[in-house]
Copies of this chain bind each other. A is one copy, B any other.
Amino acid sequence: MELQPREIGVLTTLIEDYIQTAAPVGSRTIAKKSNLNLSPASIRNIMADLTEKGYLEQPHTSAGRIPSAQGFRFYVDTLLKYHPLSPEQRNQLTENMGDSRLDVSELLRNASRLLSAYTRQVSMVLAPKASNIGFKHIDFILLKPGLAMSILVVEGGIVRNKIVSVEPELGTDDLVTYSNYLNQLFQGRTLDQVRAKLLQEMDAVQREYQAISQQALVLAQQVFNGGGEREVYVEGTVNFFTHPEFANPAKIQELLRMLEERTCLLELLDKVSKPEGISIIFGREDDQEGLQEFTLISSPYLGQDDPLGVVGVIGPIRMDYAKVVPLVEFTAQVISQLLRNRF
């Protein structure tokens, strides 16, 4: 079942032409574009073989061939040569990404926008998962009697706010006392560990009737329960319209719905959130709902060492992988680096 050099040659030219034109490719075109010096008739024989082996498909008898999912898979896995980014591109991207003083959410949104602009595809960035990041600081600010704003800062400068209700008679000073207590208690733990510690401590305190710590812990509980909803920044949905495969609005609609509902998207992104680097998923292969005819190219970004979130691009299977893949990869790198600067 190994492919012969000539078959590989034909497959490569065909895929690359198809990526450019989005139309079925005929034998004549390949005969001209490839440097195999074969006549269309010979090419036709090879194409027939490739079709039989499952690398090509034929929309109808009298049309050219288009690559199958298997064909694309083979292409990206073994044939594809990436265009490395030029130093100017790298610099430009790094600079535009920004001002490292930005809020993390703004930074990620920025990254998503840039990626979408450079690739001319729809891009997405999954925000960090907070559970295994280190706790840094907690703070309470009295908004009005009985109501306070809690501010949780974790490593990397990621901030989460939540309104909490407090005993009406509490003043600013009490809140400072509480936060001091909690900061000391949680120092040096990850958020997961903080949650565990919290439970354990509440148990202990309940037995000992320490009013101050008890109240503080109740506040902390309000902050730490729930949470965990991860933001996804999706940008460039307009780009769906620039691809000829979306002449059919129903397809865009399906995909847009998926992007908006988030749950399905979150699952998908979570799946690729492993430290293995770039990942390319074809909708047709994985049978993901809503991702029928599309490809998701994604790469995780790292905090210290383990993956925090994912950056990716979604587009038609027919995509300029040679260009897009390095862009996704580099964007992930830049994000990692910018975040690392803050630890």
Interface residues of A (CB under 8 A from B): 100-103, 136-137, 139, 141, 143-144, 147, 149, 151, 153, 155, 157, 159-165, 222, 235-238, 241, 246-247, 249-250, 252-253, 256-257, 260, 341-343
- Chief secondary structure at chain A's binding surface: mixed
Contact assessment for B253 and A162 in the assembled complex, using a CB-CB cutoff below 8 Å: no
Query: A163-B342, A256-B237 given as contacts; is B136 within 8 A of A151 (CB)?
Result: no
Residues in B neighbouring A159, C-beta threshold 8 A: 149, 151, 159, 161
Residues in B neighbouring A247, C-beta threshold 8 A: 249
CB distance from A20 to the nearest CB of B (A): 22
Residues in B neighbouring A164, C-beta threshold 8 A: 101
Contact assessment for B241 and A260 in the assembled complex, using a CB-CB cutoff below 8 Å: no
CB distance from A222 to the nearest CB of B (A): 7
Number of copies: 2
Residues in B neighbouring A141, C-beta threshold 8 A: 136-137, 139, 153
Question: Which residue of B149, B238, B246 contacts A153 across the interface (Cβ within 8 Å)?
Answer: B149
Residues in B neighbouring A102, C-beta threshold 8 A: 162-163
Residues in B neighbouring A246, C-beta threshold 8 A: 249
Assembly CA distance A136 to B140 (angstroms): 12
CB distance from A102 to the nearest CB of B (A): 7
Contact assessment for A143 and B136 in the assembled complex, using a CB-CB cutoff below 8 Å: yes
Interface centre among A149, A155, A343 (most CB of B within 10 A): A149
Residues in B neighbouring A103, C-beta threshold 8 A: 160-163
Assembly CA distance A139 to B141 (angstroms): 10
Residues in B neighbouring A147, C-beta threshold 8 A: 341-342
Residues in B neighbouring A143, C-beta threshold 8 A: 136, 153, 155, 157, 342-343
Residues in B neighbouring A163, C-beta threshold 8 A: 100-103, 157, 342
Contact assessment for A235 and B249 in the assembled complex, using a CB-CB cutoff below 8 Å: no
Residues in B neighbouring A235, C-beta threshold 8 A: 260
Question: Which residue of B100, B136, B151 contacts A139 across the interface (Cβ within 8 Å)?
Answer: B151
